[in-house]
A = this chain, B = another copy of it.
Amino acid sequence: MSDVRFTKVRLYVEQPLGEGQSVHLAREQAHYLFSVMRLVPDDTLLLFDGLSGEWLARVAEAGKRSGTLICVSRTRPLRPPPDLWLFFAPIKKARTDFIVEKAAELGAARICPVQTDFTNAERIRRDRLQAHAVEAAEQCGGTYVPEVDDLRRLDDVLVRWPEGRQLMFCDETLAGAGQGLGEAPEGAPWAILIGPEGGFSPTERARLRGLPFAHPVSLGPRVLRADTAAVAALTLWQLALGDWT
């Protein structure tokens, strides 16, 4: 038996994994593993599928445009985040990418771009944002990848709001931080809503305030950029209601 070289490479794959399962690599994955990371047959790496945890895998075949891995044994169980969705208004490209990366790191279960009255973005590159969520999970040792939704109108989101899900939204006109969260039913699923630069329109704010499932919070006395607000809100929620304690 040849020497096994254990590499620190972690890769997300879209197919369900299991012991002895073979994984046929797509062209870009083969390029990444064999040309960029220089893995060779019998090298090991870690795989995760977002469903069944993390697996030790071995390179069986390494080609320029294809390759095969064999799943050896499970190294960690799936650790899903709390049932928290992040709704946010897309802003400039780099800051939108950043919000998706941080949401994946901080444990959002689903990432939902929304178009608000003051949102400039007419469309998003869903596949690019999804790739950022995958990369964040690969880099940070995650076993779960939040799905990135297509862009929807905030009006439409609120009309079709799933029953029972609570909504935390950031209201710059409030004084104290997070005092309304405790009133929500215990163990309920949640969502966070972050407005764009410029905040919500007066119509949106009035509508949000009238929703029985919506809970306003303050993110302090300073004006925050939308990407900062997203990270701060995720932190506040995880501390108050999530899995940080």
Show the binding face of A for B, using Cβ within 8 Å: 79, 81, 98, 102, 105-107, 139-142, 176-178, 218-225, 228, 231-232, 235-236, 238-239, 242-245
Q: How far is it, in angstroms, between the C-alpha of A43 and the C-alpha of B242 when the chains are bound?
A: 49
Complex contact A140–B222 (CB within 8 A): yes
If the complex has contacts A228-B231, A232-B235, A239-B236, are A223 and B178 also in contact, measured as CB distance less than 8 A? no
The smallest beta-carbon distance between A93 and chain B, in angstroms, is 13
17 pairs, A vs B, C-beta closer than 8 Å: A102-B228, A105-B224, A105-B228, A106-B222, A139-B225, A140-B223, A141-B222, A177-B244, A220-B243, A220-B244, A221-B243, A221-B244, A231-B231, A231-B232, A235-B235, A235-B236, A239-B239
One of B140, B142, B177, B222 near A239 (C-beta < 8 A): B177
Interface SS of A by simple majority? loop
One of B106, B140, B223 near A232 (C-beta < 8 A): B106
Contacts of A244 in B (CB 8 A): 176-177, 218-221
Complex contact A79–B221 (CB within 8 A): yes
Among A98, A106, A220, A223, the most chain B Cβ lie within 10 Å of the Cβ of: A220
The smallest beta-carbon distance between A172 and chain B, in angstroms, is 11
Complex contact B177–A224 (CB within 8 A): no
Complex contact B222–A177 (CB within 8 A): no
The smallest beta-carbon distance between A67 and chain B, in angstroms, is 27
The smallest beta-carbon distance between A53 and chain B, in angstroms, is 15
Known: A79-B221, A106-B232, A177-B245. 16 other contacts (CB 8 A): A81-B222, A102-B228, A102-B231, A105-B222, A105-B228, A106-B220, A106-B222, A106-B224, A106-B228, A139-B225, A140-B223, A140-B225, A142-B223, A220-B244, A231-B235, A236-B239
Q: How far is it, in angstroms, between the C-alpha of A141 and the C-alpha of B220 when the chains are bound?
A: 13
Contacts of A243 in B (CB 8 A): 220-221
Complex contact A238–B220 (CB within 8 A): yes
Q: How far is it, in angstroms, between the C-alpha of A244 and the C-alpha of B178 when the chains are bound?
A: 9
